[in-house]
Copies of this chain bind each other. A is one copy, B any other.
Amino acid sequence: MARIVRIAGAQLGPIQKADTRAATLERLIALLRQSHARGAELVVFPELALTTFFPRWTIDDERELDSYFEREIPGPDTQALFDEARRLKLGFYLGYAELAREAGTLRRYNSAVLVGREGRILGKYRKVHLPGHTAPQPGMRYQQLEKRYFEYGNLGFPVWRAFGGIVGMAICNDRRWVETFRVMGMKGVELVLIGYNSAAYDPNRAEDREGAELRTFHSRLAAQAGAYQNATWVVAIAKAGVEDGAGLIGGSCIVDPQGRIVAEAKTLADEVIYADCDLDACAHGKEKMFNFAAHRRPEHYRIICERAGAWVPEGKESW
């Protein structure tokens, strides 16, 4: 019996700072209903799907910062979404800012949860590859302060048995790092869910060397290569459009285990894309070209795990 999951990728248009939480939640619920009407079993929302991408601002007031975070999930601002999804028997992936109490300390993470069709939280992922800076860059109107507002994810890259297969999660910048996909590939992953907020251009510079087209190409390339090279489905879903004056790429897509895009968003607004994802289609790559046990040679990979930074010794001819 084929394991086919109808997946909806619910791209969001921008969420402005001035938008109310209630208005945003209504948009998410509308996308849920739309997905359900098309027969989806699983809806993928973007990273930080409940608020604007606030790491672009320098926020010194702790209370203001906390207003972007969820103390519990579901919580007062998200319960209606969880309730509606359970009513519709729709699973979902939701990216959000998590304020966690761990060993008596408050910690902030850029997180995502995977919710099953019965409304149960099946798993949580905390973003490992935080981009940006720990301190505001002087003179810049727009910042990228993820390294300031979030801790590095401390849960690794787990996978879960869910939706009839093996499911993993990643968030935004994680998808550019081959290790993200490979770690989950090593765990037999068949479906990787990813939400993102990716700049369409540098909002601080009128002349940007990398425009939206190149950045959208990079986003697709990372998803397609991750899918092909690990023989897995990949669902990569954007928050898109101009948010508080800063542009975000769209390009939300669903990629099959051969690396082919089978569904792609056409707009920079709220838009749902769909695909019937046959999880059995992963077996071909996993058994043949990417049969890890038969072909990988980890004795030659050690430097990947031994250090973070590149190693370029002075004065050597070869290394």
- CB within 8 Å of B: which residues of A? 123, 128-131, 152-153, 156-161, 166, 173, 176-179, 181-183, 185-188, 209-210, 214, 217-218, 221-222, 224-225, 228-229, 258-260, 284, 286, 289-290, 292-298, 300-312, 316-319
Contact = CB atoms under 8 A, between A and B. Distances in A.
B310 A305 contact: no
Given A156-B300, A186-B310, A308-B296, A221 B218 contact: no
Contacts of A173: 295
Nearest to A295: B129
B229 A176 contact: yes
For the complex formed by this chain, how many copies does it contain in all?
A: 2
Contacts of A295: 129-131, 173, 177, 308
Contacts of A158: 318-319
B225 A187 contact: no
B312 A188 contact: yes
A179 B292 contact: no
Given A221-B224, A319-B187, A309 B292 contact: yes
B305 A298 contact: yes
A274 to B, nearest CB: 23
Given A187-B310, A304-B298, A304-B305, A259 B179 contact: no
A222 B209 CA distance: 24
B228 A318 contact: no
A183 B309 contact: no
A159 B131 CA distance: 28
A185 B296 CA distance: 18
Contacts of A292: 308-310
11 contacts: A153-B300, A178-B178, A178-B225, A186-B310, A187-B319, A188-B312, A217-B259, A218-B259, A222-B228, A298-B307, A301-B304
A11 B292 CA distance: 30
A311 B188 contact: yes
Contact of A293 (B185, B188, B308): B308
A165 B301 CA distance: 23
Contacts of A159: 318-319
Contact of A188 (B228, B260, B297, B310): B310
Given A293-B309, A298-B305, 16 more contacts: A158-B318, A159-B318, A160-B317, A161-B317, A161-B318, A178-B181, A183-B300, A186-B311, A187-B303, A210-B258, A217-B260, A218-B228, A221-B221, A222-B225, A293-B308, A301-B305
Point out which of A130, A221, A317 has the most chain B C-beta atoms below 10 A from its C-beta. Answer: A221
Nearest to A297: B128
A177 B296 contact: yes
Point out which of A130, A217, A309 has the most chain B C-beta atoms below 10 A from its C-beta. Answer: A309
A186 B313 CA distance: 11
Contacts of A308: 292-293, 295-298
